Amino acid sequence: MLTSDGGGVARLYSTNKVVRSYEEAGLYAIKGGCDTEIPVGGTYKQLPRYVREGKLDEALLDESVRRILTIKFACGLFENPYVDLDAVKKAMTNPQKQQLSLKAAEQSLTLLKNDGILPLTGKPKLAVIGPHADSLRYPISGYTYPAYLEMIDASRGKDSDKITIGGMKDESAKEDASPGYQVPKKKKSGGAFASMVDLFNEEQKARICDMTTSLRRVGCASLYEVLRERYTVRYAPGCDIVKPGQDGFAEAIAAAKESDVVIMALGGNCGWVNVTGGEGKDRCSLDLPGEQQALLEAVAAAGKPVVLVLYGPGCFAIPWADRHCSAIVQAWMPGPYAGKAVADLLDGTINPGGKLPVIFPRTVGQVPIFYNHKVGSGYEDVYGGNPIFSGGYVDAPSRPLYPFGYGLSYTTFALFDLQIEQTEVPTRGGVIRLSVRVTNTGTRPGDEVVQLYTHFKDAYVTRPWKQLTGFLRVSLTPGQSKRVNFAVQTSQLGYYNEEMEFVVEPGALDIMVGTSSADIAFTQEIQLTGERWPLAGHRSYTSEVYQQDC
C-alpha cells in the first residue's frame, strides 16, 4: 500500500497550491495512487462525495481498500486487533537493549583532536561546563519518547500555542481554510490544536510522566553526574543552548580557574523545543549556537587545558576550537547512556574508534563541501599550484577542517602489504578482489576503520575524485595484525554515461586504501576490460568485506 507523509496530502492545498480546496487534495491524491493519508485522514473522508458526484471512479476506492485490508489480514490485525501493553513495555527496554544502546554510543564517538590530554590520567580536578554538561535530554535525538515528552512539558506552559507537530496542526487548521469540512471539536486556539496537550483529556494528561522521570527510569545519567563519581568536579552550565544571556559566564570562569582540566559540553539539540535541528528546523550558520562560542572563549582564557565535547544534530564549523582546545570529541547524539559513554572515553575506559561520516568545514562559506566531489571541482588543487588559478579561497584554506572518514585513537595503526588478485577485471560480472594488512602499532587495544575508495578515470562524463566503496572496523590488541579482504563487484561501479545509460565501461580504475578520505596509504590502477555493460537489473550497492587473522 502507498500512504502519504504526515500531512502530505493536506499540503497539496495548504503549501503547494496545486488544488483548489482541502477536500480536493484527497481526490487528486487517490487518483495519483495514494491509498490512504496520515495522520488524520480528513480529506479521504470526503471521497464518497466525489464518487456520488461522478468525479471519482469507485473502482479506485475498491483497489485501495483491497490493498489495505490484505495487509491487515496478513498481519493478523482482525484476529488480534489490540496491543498487549505488558508485552510492549517489556519489549521497549530491557538490559540487553540498554547494553546495545551503550555500545552504539561508545562506537559512534569520534576523537577529532588530542594533544595528549586524553585519556585523563591520575585524579585531576575537573570543571564540567556547558548546557550539555548536566542534561539528560540533549544527547537524545528528536522523534524519540523523551523529545515527545519535552514537547508535552513545554505545552503546559504559557507558550503552548507555539508547540505543535506541523502535520497535526495542518490537518486540524483546515476548518477555517476550507468551508464545509468540519474537524473534530476539541480545545482550539485560532482554529487549530494549540498544542500536543490538547490531544489528551485531563485523565490522560495526568498519566503522562514528565521527561526527566521517564529518562531516570531507564538509567540515564548526565555527563556531570557520571564524572563526579570518578573525579572532584565543579559544574557550571554557563549558558543556554540557544537563548541569549551571559549571566552564567562568571561562575563558569571561576570553575575553570579552580580546575586542572576543563570539560566543555557544548552543541545543539534535536526536536521541537529549544532546538538547533530537527524536522523543519534548519540552521543558516555552522557556528556554535547561542552564546556558546563566547562561553568557550571566555573559559579558555582561564588558561587551563580545555576538552571540547560536541553534541547535537549536524556538525559545527569550529576552527577557533581546533586552534585553542587541547582535545575535541564529536559525540553526535549518543542516546540515553551518553553520560557513561563520554565519561568512559575521557578516562580511557574505552578507546575511541569512530570515523566522520561527513566533512567538517572551516566555515559555512565552504558549503557545499564533500569528499566525493567531481574531478575539476571541489577543494583539490587541480591547477598544480598555478598562482592565478589556485582553486582555493583568498581568506582561508580550501581544504576542510576534518575530512570524511577521519577519526583519532589512543593508539596508532599502520597499513601494509596491499595485494590485488587481478589487475585486469571484466566489466560484465567481474569481481575486484584485494586485501591489506592492518596492524596496531601502539600500546593500547583499539579499533581502526579500513576504507576502500575507487575512481574511474576513463569516463566521458565527470566522475568523483574518489568514492567510498567498502570499509570495515577492525579491533586489534597492541602489536596484533589482521588482513582485511574486499570483494567489489563491478556492478557497484556503475554511472550514467554521456548517453544517459547506467553502465560499467572499460577503462582505468584507481584502487585506493586508507584510513580516511584524506589519508590514503595505497593507490593502484587496474583495468576494466571487455564491453560496456548496461546495469539494469544487475546493480549492486555494497562490497563484501571480511577480516582474517594474520
The b/e string for 529-549 (b: 16+ C-beta within 10 A; e otherwise) is ebeebebeeeeeeebebebee
State which CATH number among 3.40.50.280, 2.60.15.10, 1.20.1260.10, 2.60.40.10 fits the domain covering 413-549: 2.60.40.10
Q: How far apart are CA 296 and CA 104, in angstroms?
A: 28
- Burial of 161 by CB count in 10 Å (0-12 exposed, 13-18 middle, 19+ buried)? middle
Pairing outcome for strands 306-311 and 261-267: parallel
Q: Are 35 and 58 in contact (CB under 8 A)?
A: no
- On the question of a cis peptide bond just before residue 119, with omega within 30 degrees of 0, the verdict is yes
Res 390: pLDDT? 65
- On the question of a cis peptide bond just before residue 124, with omega within 30 degrees of 0, the verdict is no
Class of domain 96-141+220-347: alpha beta
Region of 326 on the Ramachandran plot (φ > 0 left; ψ -120 to 50 alpha; else beta): alpha
Res 444: pLDDT? 97
Q: Where exactly are the structural domains of the chain?
A: 8-74, 96-141+220-347, 145-216, 413-549
- Burial of 181 by CB count in 10 Å (0-12 exposed, 13-18 middle, 19+ buried)? middle
Q: How far apart are CA 316 and CA 96, in angstroms?
A: 33
Res 499: pLDDT? 95
Angle at 330 between CA 395 and CA 440, to 5 degrees: 105
Res 185: pLDDT? 42
Residue of 12, 294, 344 whose CA lies nearest to 178: 12
Pairing outcome for strands 495-496 and 481-489: unpaired
Res 304: pLDDT? 98
Angle at 489 between CA 483 and CA 495, to 5 degrees: 125
Res 530: pLDDT? 96
Residue located via cell numbers 496542526: 169
Residues 6+ apart with CB under 8 A from 193: 164, 168, 169, 172, 186, 187, 199
Q: Are 402 and 112 in contact (CB under 8 A)?
A: yes
Q: Are 135 and 222 in contact (CB under 8 A)?
A: yes
Global pTM? 0.89
Q: How far apart are CA 506 and CA 535, in angstroms?
A: 14
| pLDDT tens for the chain, residues 1 to 550 | 999 988 889 889 988 999 999 899 999 999 999 999 888 788 899 999 999 999 999 999 999 999 999 999 999 999 998 989 889 888 888 899 999 999 999 999 999 999 999 999 999 999 999 999 999 999 999 988 888 888 777 766 655 555 555 434 444 444 444 444 343 444 443 333 344 556 667 777 777 888 888 899 889 999 999 999 999 999 999 999 999 999 999 999 999 999 999 999 999 999 888 889 988 888 999 999 999 999 999 999 999 999 999 999 989 999 999 999 999 999 999 999 999 999 999 999 999 999 999 999 999 999 999 999 999 888 877 677 777 776 678 888 889 999 999 999 999 999 999 999 999 999 999 999 999 999 999 999 999 999 999 999 999 999 999 999 999 999 999 999 999 999 999 999 999 999 999 999 999 999 999 999 999 999 999 999 999 999 999 999 999 999 999 8
Q: Are 55 and 27 in contact (CB under 8 A)?
A: yes
Q: How far apart are CA 371 and CA 517, in angstroms?
A: 7
